[in-house]
Amino acid sequence: MKIYKNITIAFAVAICLTACELMFIEEPGKSPIAIFENFWQTFKDDYGLFEERNIDWDANYETYRPQVNNNTSDAELYTILTEMIAPFEDGHVALMAMPHGAFDANKYLRDRIEDELFDLSMIKQNYLDESTVVEGAKFVYGKIKLHNIAYIFFDVFRADAVKLDEMWKAFPDVNGYIVDLRHNNGGDVSFSYSFLGKFIQEDKFFLRSKTKNGRGANDYSPWFNWYLKKQNPYIAKPLIILTDRYTVSAAERMVMAAKTLPNAIIMGDTTNGTFGTKVSRELVNGWTFAYSIQKVEMFDGKSYEGIGLSPDVWVKNEVQEMKQGIDRTLQTAINKLY
């Protein structure tokens, strides 16, 4: 019995030693190769816009997979992954890999191109009647100085978007409304529909969407049709929507809806061109990444992914005028409603 007992103990010790040794060996799933494979395969299975974005993801693999091995540093891997997604130009594609960086695939969001052409502080100071201003963390509304025109700006669509209705109730007798979607970061556009619905007298179909729901290239849900429902009371007044290259995601869906309104004018610059719903995933090393899983087509049957929505009236601010306190886009809208 003693002999067997000693053998058993020795065997158990050997297992423990082996287990302890494994603790010091990097888990296969955390190797640079495994992380790369996981990242690439997730896009392969779930990303919904390869065709619209003109991306050959298999060719992308052939280019970048040979650059990764088990000795690839985190900094090198970050560079490789960001180079892979840069061609998407999708405002919903991003990699967050601190402390190495946070990378947006869309050049406007990443490089803040012409970011200086919008200045909310200047608008509040030079254009809004201070006695009428209502302001929150993500919105501001009030009347334009010396003009019977209501103005509202949103930084992002959340529950605060119901302030659209609040603004209308505060200024029911104005000549018209300006909704500023420049530099709007998206969110949940459904909060805006009750306001927009007051500008129509019959329901309007404005977009359809389908969502990636399987690993196959053609695995999507059926198309879902989105309708703007008429609301009471009807507002028979002009509505101007201001846009720029930072009008993105949910804000662009609001523009699609506004394009069905008989009294609405879209004014400013072309929107960003990022429409589909996004999701986020986490890699085993703690990095997170985001991507689009949805196709969106406007009521005209076209996808504007990567293109953006053109305004009805194109107008763009100029740096020199901004320095003088003049927002040319907003001023053009005021002149239209005055």
Q: Give kind and range of the element (H or E) at residue 135.
A: strand 134-135
pLDDT tens per residue across span 97-115: 999 999 999 999 999 999 9
What is the pLDDT averaged over residues 84-101?
A: 97
Domains defined for the chain, CATH in brackets? 7-93 (no CATH), 119-273+308-337 (3.90.226.10)
pLDDT at residue 62, as a whole number? 98
Tokens of 88: 């998407």
Closest CA to 149 of 165, 132, 166, 125: 132
What is the pLDDT averaged over residues 67-78?
A: 97
Residue 133: pLDDT band (50, 70, 90) is very high
pLDDT at residue 246, as a whole number? 97
pLDDT at residue 11, as a whole number? 32
Tell me 26's DSSP state: P
CA 142/CA 159 separation, integer angstroms: 19
pLDDT tens per residue across span 224-260: 999 999 999 999 999 999 999 999 999 999 999 999 9
pLDDT at residue 188, as a whole number? 85
pLDDT at residue 158, as a whole number? 77
Q: Residue 176 contacts by C-beta under 8 Å, 6 or more apart in sequence?
A: 149, 150, 237, 238, 239, 240, 337
pLDDT at residue 22, as a whole number? 32
CA 238/CA 266 separation, integer angstroms: 11
Peptide bond into 222 cis (omega under 30): no
pLDDT tens per residue across span 176-212: 999 999 999 988 888 888 899 999 999 999 999 999 9
Residue 5: pLDDT band (50, 70, 90) is very low
pLDDT at residue 71, as a whole number? 96
pLDDT tens per residue across span 139-159: 999 999 999 999 999 898 877
Count of beta carbons in the 10 Å neighbourhood of residue 129: 13
Q: Would you say the pTM of this structure is higher than 0.85?
A: yes
Task: Return mean pLDDT, the chain.
Answer: 91
Q: How far separated are the first and last CA of the chain, in Å rounded?
A: 103
pLDDT at residue 191, as a whole number? 80
Distance of CA 157 to the CA centre of its chain: 11
